[in-house]
Chain A
Amino acid sequence: METLSVDHLLGIKDLTKADIDLIFATADEFKDVINRPIKKVPSLRDITIANLFFENSTRTKLSFELAEKRLSADVINFASGSSSVKKGETLVDTVNNILSMKVDMVVMRHPNPGAHQFLSRNIDAKIINAGDGAHEHPTQALLDAYSIRERLGEVSGKKVVIVGDILHSRVALSNIYALQKQGAEVMVCGPATLIPKFIHSLGVHVEHNLQKALDWCDVANMLRIQLERQDSKFFPSIREYTMQYGLTLDHLNKLEKEIVVMHPGPINRGVEITSEVADSHQSIILNQVENGVAVRMAVLYLLASKINR
């Protein structure tokens, strides 16, 4: 039986090309399911999943919850703001308490990179990383690559530029792994202060001029500028960032080809991308959201098949 090589989805780094292909093939069928009048299948009806969000999230949490419900799993939710974490409980204790209620899988977002690796060694449940600090966000990278594959037919051989705050971005790192494993070429673009010093070691191109990067690429993935981090002065002002790295219709009109525009959300309209571009036919931002549910269903389903009964 074809199955994943991993027991948890901690990061794209651990996956093989065959794993990604299997996830995509499964997601194709789930995409079909979620476009039917009855959007639900009973596969995970005896599985309970805990969504543990130690960091804020709207779309990822909704997307996971919807994916779980469409697979007929039972779902419990947990947000750190209203929990005993504030009272000093350790991560392992919190999770073990939840697992005592007979939970089979854990979807977790945590501010500390590696929290998921740590947990996977200490508890007996399948773990899916929904974002760990600035480290990885594997399901986002999978849905991004899946959306590219859907729009352009394949990922292999495509040139993808990731624009913006690469330094703080878990989306960027997971995307680099996912795209390279499928044979795409990756470039990062942004102000020097927001490009990590050792990014070259991952075998990606670095470019500081947005127009040049756009000339090179087939796909531009525009990351969100994290307004909440702007105290640290990585660039002089939002306005200056927008003038240099904000994607506008002008940029696209100067190109001889039509590129695909992506954004993991939430968008700061008028900062990293203008409204006209975000709403243009070249943008696949809303397809990404739809595909997110299908890809997460595939990941949950394939990992659930490895639970022993």
Chain B
Amino acid sequence: MQPREIINTTEFNLILKRLAFQLIENHDYFEDTVLIGLQSKGVHLANRLKKILSDINPSLSLNVGYLDITFFRDDFRRSNKPLVANETKIDFLIEGKKVILIDDVLFTGRTIRAGLDAMLAFGRPSLVELLVFVDRRYKRHLPIQPSYVGKVIDSITSEQVSVEWKESEGEDKVLLHTSEN
């Protein structure tokens, strides 16, 4: 079956802007705040938010890091997830900082758990918040809730939600894939 578009490009960019303003409300000038995008799609989201925040406040200096959680997964040898990690690039200390952890889809919460674990290698943050573009409600395996949500989507387990980005897929949109049977 053809995937169904549930967020189009216009809505997509409105959501991004709203998320950026929500961040400004809580973090003012981002003096002690850093963004960390989870590889691979969370990185697009983190970079896009930084761009919007810089457009709003051109003098903004905001650190953005990329975190890969491959070696921290709890399903090593239990699933077919890729073995090779993406680049982790955090060239600043997160000790005592407010960290906004960023991912595209929040589903079971296991990726975020691994992300929290992986992040500790770079210091002890004073506060960690979670920002996701899509929250697939009711699918959590762990007690993890986002602080900022782009869009809540109710879907069944056999369905798949994919967030597509101009940078990687050529267009900003969110698709819902339904399996054949």
Main secondary structure of the interface of B (DSSP, over half): loop
Q: Is the C-beta of B71 less than 8 angstroms from some C-beta in chain A?
A: yes
**Chain A residues with CB under 8 A of B82:** 1-2
* Given known A37-B121, A37-B122, A37-B123, contact A3–B83 (CB-CB < 8 A): yes
Per-residue CB proximity of A293-309 to B under 8 Å, as 1/0? Answer: 00000000110110111
Question: Is the CB–CB distance between B68 and A29 below 8 Å?
Answer: yes
Question: Is the CB–CB distance between A32 and B88 below 8 Å?
Answer: yes
Shortest C-beta distance, B94 to chain A (Å), equals 11
Shortest C-beta distance, A192 to chain B (Å), equals 44
**Chain A residues with CB under 8 A of B120:** 38
Q: How many residues of A contact B (CB 8 A)?
A: 24
Q: Is the C-beta of B81 less than 8 angstroms from some C-beta in chain A?
A: yes
A29 to B88, CA, bound (A): 8
A304 to B78, CA, bound (A): 11
Question: Is the CB–CB distance between A2 and B77 below 8 Å?
Answer: no
Main secondary structure of the interface of A (DSSP, over half): loop
Question: Is the CB–CB distance between B72 and A41 below 8 Å?
Answer: yes
Per-residue CB proximity of B61-76 to A under 8 Å, as 1/0? Answer: 0000000101111001
Question: Is the CB–CB distance between B84 and A305 below 8 Å?
Answer: no
A111 to B54, CA, bound (A): 63
Question: Is the CB–CB distance between A309 and B77 below 8 Å?
Answer: yes
**Chain A residues with CB under 8 A of B121:** 33, 36-38, 40
**Chain B residues with CB under 8 A of A25:** 84
Which residue of A37, A42, A309 contacts B72 across the interface (Cβ within 8 Å)?
Answer: A42
Using a CB-CB cutoff of 8 Å, which residues 30-58 of chain A contact chain B? 32-33, 36-38, 40-44
Which residue of B77, B83, B123 contacts A307 across the interface (Cβ within 8 Å)?
Answer: B77
Closest to B73 in A: A43
**Chain A residues with CB under 8 A of B60:** none
Which residue of A36, A38, A41, A302 contacts B83 across the interface (Cβ within 8 Å)?
Answer: A302
Which residue of A26, A33, A41, A309 contacts B84 across the interface (Cβ within 8 Å)?
Answer: A26
* Given known A36-B121, A37-B122, contact A305–B85 (CB-CB < 8 A): no
Using a CB-CB cutoff of 8 Å, which residues 93-152 of chain A contact chain B? none
Question: Is the CB–CB distance between A22 and B122 below 8 Å?
Answer: no
Shortest C-beta distance, A199 to chain B (Å), equals 35
Query: Which residue, B76, B78, B86, has most C-beta atoms of chain A within 10 A?
Result: B76
* Given known A42-B72, A43-B71, contact A1–B77 (CB-CB < 8 A): no
Q: A22-B84, A29-B68, A38-B120 are in contact. List 13 more A-B contacts (CB 8 A).
A: A1-B80, A3-B83, A29-B87, A32-B87, A32-B88, A33-B71, A33-B121, A37-B121, A38-B122, A42-B72, A301-B71, A302-B83, A304-B77
In the assembled complex, 9 residue pairs joining A and B whose CB atoms fall closer than 8 Å, in A order, are: A2-B84, A29-B85, A29-B87, A32-B88, A36-B122, A37-B123, A38-B120, A41-B71, A301-B83
